[in-house]
């Protein structure tokens, strides 16, 4: 029996894959076989449901001390495109979104690592957003930002999280993981949180009852083996804490970064990574196909490769588009529902904790 047959049998029985079996699956170029296996696992976990939410992204600033070669969003304060949002601007955006989008259930807020803004700036904004929209879930600040807050405040990671939680923070998005291997991070993001620091923030958040997502940025300088070890590291954390809500794999967009010599990986690679994540991360309930990074057609196809979540309406996004993403900056509920129903699944509007709010009829809508 070869490695693929062994892996297939284990997946069929609901048994865990090891590193060697995961690598064999990646190297196996029968992508329809991967789709078959990943879709089977997806349907065991979420049946015919595909999730989305009504959310609004806010990026507070693009002024950043890190200067990561992989980033096209961050810049110096003296650059023409530099900006910092004041609390009043943030609240105006939140209030306007609530007026225009009554179904809004989540604010998603991430930013750069500003050199001068004190920790109190972020605490004040969290508290103000929560006062303006107490019923809306606030998911904010990657582990990289939390490490930055700990450094500028001279507080520990746990104390930073405790103060943010007290101010109104409900969960963390889990970004900045890139590849959890310091030999890779030294090349793509040498001045921001290390692998150990990213893991420390995640485990501290989970211990405080703050759920997070988990992410991966693939398609730059990493090896396939490092991608698989990244997944296994996340799986090990989930075994201990159980507080990861979803995994999202982001393809690297090289435009305007320090890696413009690279090509964005192919859609074939995107679909392999999504199916592999679904098969390796046996203790994750949800695998997200983030349509803004993948494009809508690839995200729709990913629903057949094990994904069960398309993220949300977003409305406005700056970080990915600075790196050359050409997708729209927002999408309507009607469009998401149509994309899901074309695949034969049911579109489920959810809250951040994956509690269903509305379930589509299943009748295809192309309008």
Per-residue pLDDT averaged across 266-282, rounded? 97
> In the predicted model, is pLDDT for residue 304 greater than 50?
yes
Q: Pick the more confident residue, 239 or 328.
A: 239
The strand pairing partners of 287, in sequence order, are 247
The structural domain count of the chain equals 1
pLDDT in tens, 323-345: 566 666 678 888 889 999 999 99
In a domain, 166, yes or no: yes
CA distance 129 to 236: 34
- Residue 129 lies in domain: 52-359
> In the predicted model, is pLDDT for residue 367 greater than 60?
no
| 75 marked as binding residue | no
In a domain, 36, yes or no: no
In a domain, 84, yes or no: yes
In a domain, 315, yes or no: yes
| 189 marked as binding residue | no
| 64 marked as binding residue | yes
Per-residue pLDDT averaged across 62-72, rounded? 94
Place 28 in a pLDDT band, splitting at 50, 70 and 90: confident
Q: What is the pLDDT of residue 256?
A: 87
Q: Which alpha helices (DSSP H) does the chain contain, by range?
A: 3-13, 19-27, 31-46, 87-100, 119-132, 143-153, 157-167, 182-188, 195-207, 224-241, 267-280, 291-294, 296-302, 319-322, 333-341
Q: What is the pLDDT of residue 172?
A: 98
In a domain, 19, yes or no: no
Q: Is the entire prediction scored with pTM above 0.85?
A: yes
| 68 marked as binding residue | yes
In a domain, 354, yes or no: yes
Q: What is the CATH number of the domain that holds 147?
A: 3.20.20.70
Work out the mean pLDDT of the chain and round it to a whole number: 93
In a domain, 16, yes or no: no
In a domain, 303, yes or no: yes
Beta-carbon neighbour count of residue 227 at 10 Å? Answer: 25
Q: What is the pLDDT of residue 317?
A: 56
């Amino acid at each position: 029996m070869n490695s693929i047959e062994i892996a297939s049998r284990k997946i069929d029985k609901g048994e865990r894959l090891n590193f060697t079996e995961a690598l064999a699956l990646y190297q196996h170029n029968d992508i329809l076989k991967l789709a078959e296996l990943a879709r089977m696992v997806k349907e065991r976990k979420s049946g015919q449901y595909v999730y989305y939410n009504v959310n609004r992204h806010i990026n507070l600033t693009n002024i950043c001390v890190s200067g990561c070669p992989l980033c096209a969003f961050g810049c110096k304060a003296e650059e023409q495109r530099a900006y910092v949002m004041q609390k009043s601007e943030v609240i105006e955006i939140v209030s306007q979104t609530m007026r225009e989008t009554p179904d809004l259930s989540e604010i998603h807020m991430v930013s750069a690592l500003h050199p001068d803004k004190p920790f109190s700036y972020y605490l004040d904004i969290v508290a103000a957003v929560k006062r303006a929209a107490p019923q809306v879930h606030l998911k904010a600040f990657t582990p990289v930002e939390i490490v930055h807050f700990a450094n500028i405040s001279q507080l520990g990671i746990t104390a930073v999280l405790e103060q943010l939680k007290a101010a109104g923070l409900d969960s963390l998005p889990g970004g900045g993981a890139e590849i959890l291997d310091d030999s890779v991070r030294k090349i793509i993001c040498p001045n921001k949180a290390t692998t150990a620091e990213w893991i420390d923030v995640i485990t501290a958040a989970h211990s405080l009852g703050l759920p997070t997502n988990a992410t991966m940025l693939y398609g730059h300088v990493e090896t396939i083996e490092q991608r698989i070890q990244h997944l296994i590291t996340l799986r090990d954390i989930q075994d201990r804490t159980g507080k990861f809500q979803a995994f999202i794999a982001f393809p690297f967009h090289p435009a305007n970064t320090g890696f413009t010599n690279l090509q964005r990986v192919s859609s074939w690679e995107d679909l392999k990574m999504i199916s592999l994540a679904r098969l390796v991360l046996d203790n994750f309930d949800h695998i997200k196909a983030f349509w803004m990074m993948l494009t809508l057609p690839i995200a729709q196809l990913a629903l057949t490769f094990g994904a069960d979540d398309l993220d949300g309406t977003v409305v406005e996004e700056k970080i990915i588009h600075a790196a050359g993403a050409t997708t729209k900056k927002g999408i309507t509920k009607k469009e998401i529902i149509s994309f899901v129903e074309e695949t034969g699944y049911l579109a489920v509007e959810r809250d951040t904790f994956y509690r269903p709010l509305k379930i589509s009829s299943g009748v295809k809508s192309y309008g």
